[in-house]
Amino acid sequence: MTAALTTHDLVKNFGGLVATDHVSLSIAKGARHALIGPNGAGKTTLINLLTGVLQPTSGRIQLMGEDVTAISQHSRVKRGLVRTFQINQIFADLTPLQSLGLAISERHGHGSDWWRVAGTDQGVVAEAVETLTQFGLGDVLHIPTHHLPYGKQRLLEIALAFACKPQVLLLDEPAAGVPEEERHDIIRILKSLPADVTIVLIEHDMELVFSYADRITVLVNGGILTEGSVDEIAKDQRVRTVYLGEDAHD
């Protein structure tokens, strides 16, 4: 069985700085795989490489066995590799329904239709309404997103990625900045994501990582320190010193 997402010797240099240092990852289909590491470990660079925002200096990336190293960000999305952002990236003056409608139309290949009014495709609207309801946004379909409270915007951030029907979903600190009472909504949503969707979770919050992930990769200084199951990582002394130790000082 091929892995959902693999990288081979991925390297990214910025001038003299090595941001990603020979990273070889293999993420199994349907996994709940967490990428953790202290600040500056290269998590953001890695996610940008995986999604095609950045081009690697060397190395390869495979999605479902297909080499996607050279293809653009939006083509990777069409092949099922979708991400969310640590800082909300939503369309401020569109409504949640319009935003999801865009993602769904695009997936169906109707995103460039110019001869019909947006919102007249019943299939697209029905799917958007269903997804938004599932994400607890059914009551704010028509409110411009910049008027939504932060917690709802955060849910929309994830819903927007989910509407692209990902095979591999990269979640970049999904609960970042969300107040305690609304975290439960997010965690509930994360846990309800279909089991066949491969999830890569980039997260600082250890509680969330240990309760959600089944496998963990620890990044330090751009390279992989170790990889293992939740129990293995929790016991690993090196991880404690570089990561948990530092975390405790914060």
Partner 1 sequence: MVTILFDGIAYGMLLFVLACGLTVTMGLMNFINLSHGAFALAGGYVTAALTQKAGLPFLLCLPLAFLFSAVLGMLAEKLLYRRLYQRSHLDQVLFTIGIVFMTVAAVDYLIGSQQQSIHLPAWLRVRLDLLGGSIGVYRLFIIVLCGILALAIQWLLSHTRFGSQLRASVDDPRVARGLGIPVNQVFAVTFALGCGLAGLGGALGADLLGMDPTFPIKFMIYFLIVVTVGGTSGIMGTFFAALLLGIADVAGKYYVPQIGAFVIYALMVAVLILRPQGLFTRGGSR
Partner 2 sequence: MTHSVENAMAMMTRTTRWSHWETLFWLASLALLPLFPNKALLFSQIAIMGLFALSLDLILGYAGIVSLGHAAFFGVGAYVAGLMAKHGWGDPTLGLLAAASGAALIGFVTSFLLLRGSDLTRLMVTLGIALMLFEAANRFASITGGADGLQGMMVKPVLGLFSFDLFGKTAYLYSLTILFLLLILARRIVYSPFGLSLRAVKANSLRAGAIGISSATRLVAIYTISAAYAGVAGALSAQTTQLVSLDVLDFHRSADVMLVLVIGGVGWLYGGIIGAIIFSLMQDWLAGITPQYWEFWIGLVLVVLVLVGHGRLQSYARMLIHAITHKGRVAHPDQRGTS
Bridge partners of 223?
220
Residue 161 CB, shortest distance to partner 2, in Å, is 7
Q: Which does 15 bind (CB under 5 to 8 A by kind): partner 2, partner 1, none?
A: partner 1
Tell me the site size for partner 1, rule CB under 8 A. Answer: 4
Contacts 24+ apart (CB under 8 A), 203-211: 203/34, 203/35, 203/36, 203/171, 203/173, 203/174, 203/175, 204/36, 204/173, 204/176, 205/173, 205/175, 206/36, 206/244, 206/247, 208/175, 209/34, 209/36, 210/234, 211/187
Q: Which does 248 bind (CB under 5 to 8 A by kind): partner 2, partner 1, none?
A: none
User: Is 210 within 8 Å of 30 (Cβ atoms)?
Assistant: no
With respect to partner 1, which residue has the nearer C-beta, 53 or 206?
Answer: 53
Contact status: 118 vs partner 2 (CB under 8 A) = yes
* Strand ranges for 66-144 from DSSP E: 66-67, 81-83
User: Is 46 within 8 Å of 20 (Cβ atoms)?
Assistant: yes
Contact status: 45 vs partner 2 (CB under 8 A) = no
Contact status: 87 vs partner 1 (CB under 8 A) = no
One of 9, 66, 67, 113 touching partner 2 (CB under 8 A): 113
Q: What is the DSSP string of 137-173?
A: -TT-TTS-GGGS-HHHHHHHHHHHHHTT--SEEEEES
Which residue in 36, 51, 33, 62 sits closest to 89, CA to CA? 51
Contact status: 15 vs partner 1 (CB under 8 A) = yes
Residue 6 CB, shortest distance to partner 2, in Å, is 21
Contact status: 14 vs partner 1 (CB under 8 A) = yes
Q: Which amino acid is at 126?
A: A
Contact status: 86 vs partner 2 (CB under 8 A) = no
Residue 120 CB, shortest distance to partner 1, in Å, is 32
One of 1, 17, 87, 195 touching partner 1 (CB under 8 A): 17
SS3 9: strand
With respect to partner 2, which residue has the nearer C-beta, 161 or 220?
Answer: 161
Note the residues at the interface with partner 2 (CB under 8 A): 51, 53, 72-74, 77-78, 82-83, 85, 89-95, 97-99, 101-103, 105-107, 110-120, 122, 125-126, 128-129, 141-142, 144, 147, 160-161, 163-164
Note the residues at the interface with partner 1 (CB under 8 A): 14-17
